[in-house]
Amino acid sequence: MPTQWKRSPEELHKTYIANTEAFYRIAGRGLAEQMDGFCVQCAMGLFAHSASLGQEHVDAVNALYSKGQPRPTWLLWALTAEVAKQSAFLPPLFFWSLTEQDARRGTDCSRVFVRMLTNILLCLAAVDDDVTYAEAEYITECADKLNALCDSAGVKKGKPALRPEDFVTSAQPSFLEKNPPRTADAAAGQAPAREGNAAGQGEPAKPDLDALMAELDGLVGLKQVKKEVKSMMNLVKVRQMRKDAGLPVPPLSLHMVFLGNPGTGKTTVARLIGGLYAAIGALSKGQLVEVDRSGLVAGYVGQTAIKTQEVIASALGGVLFIDEAYSLASGGENDFGREAVETLLKAMEDHRDELVVIVAGYTGPMERFMDSNPGLNSRFNKYIFFSDYNGEELNAIFHGQCKKNGYELDQEAEAYAKEFFDALYAGRDENFGNGRDVRNQFEDMVIRQADRVAAMEAPSKEDLVRFTKADFLPENEAAGAPEAGPLAGGK
């Protein structure tokens, strides 16, 4: 059944502007950049509950931007990848500050925000002309969590938001139900367990250990990392066998520190570790929850502990991955990051058998972070270093992106790719992004190839999938590129 909330991308943009401008008039335009980022993140979470993903979802996300803010350029494959790794909804950092301001001033800007977000999410849910029960439940969850923060801060009551369940048009299974996350059943090549299975237990099947190990082995480079992960797995397995045999088992900390530059596969390895630990029974679920400072730290006394506890609760049974963890200790004695660290340390003690914490970041800052609190060094005793990818490995990652997304290189481009990524590695500096630079390069090439093919009168199927040497760099740089080499940093 069609829904009254469906909007074209142009109409959706106008709806977004109308709602956000009304909010900015009372809360200030300074929130525009954070608002756009938060609404895009909400869209990803919402689309995980959609029946399917298509170009209409991409067009919808690309329509979400405020006046004066940069317009995003999502592609379907990138959107799908982001949707597939969505975790629980968390209120944005600025909303905590907004509720405190409302409580002090007797205003209700935060309640207006909840109503505005509900309207925007309903329009996003309807871009495929269908609002599912799962989408309505997600929108309701978002609104309920935000209103709970308003209540706890003492914000006065306001006009209630719309009830999303009143606009449901179907009960289609969600995108994630059709495409289970790779951290669990789908990563193992298994079908998810159904309620009322043959054993009558209703418990999800464990990830397939062999499939996950094969995925680990299939990662480009990371030879030493793979060796250390396998060593940890052996240690945990033998410890479990000793326990089953009635033998004493020494204390074992599964928490880890990942050191290295961005784009070296730290998040990917953390996800695999969660699945591997679940496969051998060390964790009950094996999901990965990824956060940074903004996902743990709030703006007022007492709120950080609550925010951190919510994140920890969502990670129980799996892995909590904290990127750039050193930022939690970078603000001095009165910084709320220290409150997040203390809350985290207590949770690691209270949930030692159901939570693995992995902290990650640049080597130097992470070493200083570990020395900032005695409890950190005592709980994290396993360090794994992720080295930069060399030119050959960058080239292999690039070819993997091409194969995954249905692109091929012609003979000249194939030869140039090796030269290009060797030069990228040789010219790297402190901004070198490793695999991220490869991903940025691939996305740029997709756009340049599309511009080139669109100018053809009747492009063939081969034209649609083929990269040429000209696609590697913008036209004004391509002529001198072989001698000069590309700049490190991708874009």
Provide the CATH number for the domain around residue 437: 1.10.8.60
Residues 399 and 323 in one domain: no
Q: What is the pLDDT along the chain (491 residues), one digit of tens a residue?
A: 456 778 888 888 988 898 888 888 887 888 888 888 889 998 998 888 887 888 888 888 888 898 888 888 888 877 887 887 777 788 888 888 888 888 889 998 999 999 999 999 999 998 888 888 888 889 999 998 898 888 888 898 888 888 888 888 876 666 666 555 544 343 444 444 433 343 334 455 667 788 888 888 888 888 899 999 988 888 888 888 888 888 887 777 889 999 988 888 888 899 999 888 888 888 888 888 888 887 888 766 567 788 888 888 888 888 999 988 888 887 655 567 788 888 888 888 888 888 999 999 888 888 888 888 888 888 888 899 998 899 999 999 999 889 888 899 999 999 999 998 998 888 888 778 888 888 888 888 888 888 888 888 888 888 888 999 988 887 655 545 544 344 434 43
pLDDT at 186: 39
In the structure encoding, which two tokens stand for residue 121, read together?
A: 């999410």
Q: Tell me which residue of 212, 213, 210, 218 sits closest to 184, measured CA to CA.
A: 212
Range 78-85 contact pairs with CB under 8 angstroms and sequence separation of 24 or more: 78/443, 79/44, 79/47, 79/53, 80/53, 82/44, 83/44, 83/47, 83/48, 83/53, 83/175, 84/48, 84/176, 84/179, 84/181, 84/182, 85/181, 85/288, 85/290
SS3 157: coil
Read off the DSSP letter of residue 30. G
Residues 323 and 429 in one domain: no
- Residue 171, CB-side half-sphere exposure with 13 Å CA sphere: 0
pLDDT at 183: 43
User: pLDDT digit string (tens) for 384-416?
Assistant: 999 889 999 999 999 988 988 889 999 999 999
Q: Specify the pTM.
A: 0.57
CA distance 481 to 424: 11
pLDDT at 184: 39
**Amino acid at site 252:** L
Asked if residue 469 belongs to a domain, the reply is yes
Q: Report whether 98 contacts 113 (CB < 8 A).
A: yes
Phi, psi of 12, deg, nearest 5: -65, -40
Asked if residue 327 belongs to a domain, the reply is yes
Q: What CATH number does residue 255 fall under?
A: 3.40.50.300
Residues 54 and 165 in one domain: yes
pLDDT at 396: 92
Q: What is the dihedral of CA 26, 29, 34, 39, to 10 degrees?
A: 60
Number of domains in the chain: 3
Q: Report whether 106 contacts 156 (CB < 8 A).
A: yes
In the structure encoding, which two tokens stand for residue 82, read together?
A: 């982001």
CA distance 68 to 179: 36
What domain range is 433 assigned to?
Answer: 391-484
CA distance 450 to 455: 9
Residues 380 and 415 in one domain: no
Select from 386, 401, 435 the last residue of a domain. Answer: 386
Asked if residue 195 belongs to a domain, the reply is no
Residues 364 and 283 in one domain: yes
Residues 240 and 257 in one domain: yes
User: pLDDT digit string (tens) for 128-147?
Assistant: 888 888 888 899 999 988 98
CA distance 329 to 22: 37
Residues 395 and 326 in one domain: no
CA distance 220 to 265: 9
Residues 18 and 152 in one domain: yes
pLDDT at 176: 60
